[in-house]
Homo-oligomer: A and B are copies of this chain.
Amino acid sequence: MKVVRAEIIAIGDELLYGQIVDTNSHWISQELDLMGVKVVRKTTVGDDRKDILAAFASAEARADIILITGGLGPTQDDLTKPLMAEYFDCPIVENPAAVEAVTEFFKQRGREITPLNILQGHLPTCCTYVPNEVGTAPGMWFERYGTYWMSMPGVPHEMKKLMTGFVLPKLPTLFPLPVIVHRLIKTVGIGESWLADLIRDWENALPSTIRLAYLPSLGHVKLRLTGFGQDKVEIEKDIQKQIELVLPSIEKYVYGYDSESLESAIGKLLTSNKKTVALAESCSGGYISHLITSVSGSSSYFQGAVIPYHNQFKEGILQVKHQTLDSFGAVSEETVKEMSRGVRELFKADFGLASSGIAGPNGGTDEKPVGTIWIACAGNGFVETKKLQLTQDRMLNIQLTATAVLNLLRICISEK
């Protein structure tokens, strides 16, 4: 089977001057890899006619499909559309469907459309118009000499919508793609090298048709199993067999599979156990509530939260005793215990979670340096607590605290 070769061209001075990070190319690479399309090159060029045309020409000489992001805004420095028209040698004319879509886009938002915006509905005659449902710059699809081209806006959520709605479903109709199956086993609460030690024998005995990768991130490690073959159902069965073999060694760290996030896994656990949760977030400042409520349907198990950034509100709203704060301080096991009990009571929830710590970069002492954080989970007749000793970085401390609190809740739901 011929390898399908893709290239990505990202256009924009802001990418070359280092003002924004190009997350688009990374996301596109991942999606294509999952489908068995090989990305052979990524090129970033600025808003410069000669450089853009040269990138088009050299990509066309190599690639089966070319994905272009950026340079589609309404302003004068956006060159992609005129240069694609020049490269494919066809004029730009009004595309009635595209003009109607951009007009409707503004109308629905109750905003006045400008002449510049109407021009976004004018397209090269040699492209197929691909509607952009979440923005004003249309997608453009080109075909020539056996190479396919897709031009998309650089705004990530617009590009993703065009990829998942149009490009990715189209690929299997254009190319014979190999059958590849990916599964992710998602773990939390164990580091990469400890996990590797636990599963070494299993890893060494994997068949050659299944590849394993460790993908670590903030307190989580994902194990990716990739199976290759001819028959999807067979590959899925083989992978499932391997998962069942490894699971007994790592079960207590596994919170889900594939696209499951820790917060959505917890949502399912709460729902199936008919339990609810409330939070008292001090040092995590709302971030854990944000993660929980970013899951659609969370209102059925998330009761609410309090972020008491000062001691008087820990006392007044959460009924933490004045004496507890006085004797042990806000960052202490005793205080997070009372906070978790207090918020559970206030919101009539089954579980009450609490965090209190020194997120940094200032506010540390010899006894409680920056990164000292206490967390708690209160339930019916118990409170579990844990002390974390994290980093000097405020944002990292907030994120690691969130993972630890969610994992503590996961363990409490499972074990109580």
Partner of A193, one of B39, B74, B289, B394: B74
User: Using Cβ atoms and an 8 Å threshold, which residues of chain B touch A13?
Assistant: 213
- Bound form: Cα–Cα A346–B289 in Å: 20
Question: Per-residue CB proximity of A262-278 to B under 8 Å, as 1/0?
Answer: 00000000000000000
Report if A313-B304 is in contact (Cβ < 8 Å); known contacts: A40-B51, A41-B44: yes
B294 in contact with A394 (CB, 8 Å)? yes
Question: Per-residue CB proximity of A146-165 to B under 8 Å, as 1/0?
Answer: 00000000010100000000
Q: How many residues of A contact B (CB 8 A)?
A: 100
**Among residues 1 to 46 in chain A, which have CB atoms less than 8 Å away from a CB atom of chain B?**
13-23, 25-33, 38-46
B304 in contact with A309 (CB, 8 Å)? yes
**Among residues 81 to 110 in chain A, which have CB atoms less than 8 Å away from a CB atom of chain B?**
108-110
Interface: A256 (CB within 8 A): no
Q: Which of A23, A224, A304 has the most CB of B within 10 A?
A: A304
- Bound form: Cα–Cα A359–B21 in Å: 27
Tell which of A230-238, A280-288, A378-386 binds the partner.
A280-288
Nearest residue, chain B, Cβ from A289:
B286
User: Using Cβ atoms and an 8 Å threshold, which residues of chain B touch A416?
Assistant: none
Report if A285-B296 is in contact (Cβ < 8 Å); known contacts: A303-B309, A304-B308, A310-B304: no
Can you give 14 A-B contacts (C-beta < 8 A)?
A18-B33, A20-B215, A42-B42, A43-B43, A43-B44, A58-B58, A114-B194, A134-B393, A279-B307, A285-B298, A289-B307, A290-B290, A296-B394, A303-B310
